Amino acid sequence: MAHQQHSPTNSGFGATSTTNDVLADIDLAGRRFLVTGSSGGLGLETSRALASRGATVVMAARDSTKNSAAAATIESTVHGADLELLTVDLGSLASVRRATRELLDDGRALHGLIANAGIMATPFALTVDGFESQFGVDHLGHFLLVRELLPLLVAGAPSRVVCVSSAGHRMGDIDFDDVNFDRRPYEPFLAYGAAKTANVLHAVALDQMFRDRGVRAFAVHPGVIQTELGRYMTPKVVGTLMARISERSEAMVWKSPEQGAATSVWAATSPLLEGRGGEYCEDVEVSPVVADDAPDGIGVAARAVDLERARQLWALSERLVG
């Protein structure tokens, strides 16, 4: 399998480090970041943290009212926060195209994009474009968003894209011949695993294709945080998840949003990652690559960082988004 060496950076941070810890010595004045899912949870904390260090933050979310309220909470604690609001529904390719056109027409460079929004373990549903909802929202919406904004990321180079994945990528793999579960019985965590695997493969392919133009990409596992991500979880689904979590200690310690978003902001800004990319990070460090059937714990499954599969997903995604 073709994947790079994922060697640790000795960051000095860990599972309990917060966004403030990670950004303490970093000045982001003059740099512009886009964060999806900015209206709550990890996206809100990621936006706040970046703004607190002087960055301009494009807060991108589906619900404009909620996003405005989120921006107001940041402005109440971060003096002079430089925030821009963007409405985008990642479950609609037309909405993504409208939003990216707005940014491209404006023309200002982006120095980072944190693809943070997502849904998890949803009942079976299709997006307006006819894709299985978790694959459609968590992967394809972000794939199109990032692809369309590449000119702004190249203009801002060196720039970084951070794809928020999950240790949940171990729960299921992509079936390239049946991404919409047309032929297989639908299982929420299998679909979630496939979507989160897609997030890692997206970062791998993106990094490979655009590193020569100064755009690097990372995937991250934020940890397990109580956010609205679990809004669709039935008691039965929660029971299944808790049974899985109790079997896996270190990868599934509950974190606060400040701890959960720390790995995202680190991957987006850390000088330790200069000249690197295509790697998977958790607990504010680059994770090792482990065997696909390794017991649950720290690390990224080898299949999720395989370059050939990353290229295969890129080609499929290009075809699906048109």
Catalytic residue chosen out of the listed positions 11, 39, 95, 165: 165
Residue 65 corresponds to which tokens in the numbers above? 């009212």
Concerning whether 196 is annotated as a catalytic residue, the answer is yes
Which 3-state string (H, E, C) describes 158-206?
CEEEEEECCHHHHHCCCCCCCCCCCCCCCCHHHHHHHHHHHHHHHHHHH
Catalytic residue chosen out of the listed positions 196, 264, 270, 317: 196
Catalytic residue chosen out of the listed positions 52, 192, 255, 270: 192
300 DSSP β-pair partners: 289
Concerning whether 165 is annotated as a catalytic residue, the answer is yes
Concerning whether 280 is annotated as a catalytic residue, the answer is no
Rounded-to-integer distance, Cα 237 and Cα 25, Å: 41
Rounded-to-integer distance, Cα 37 and Cα 90, Å: 9
**Catalytic residue list:** 165, 192, 196
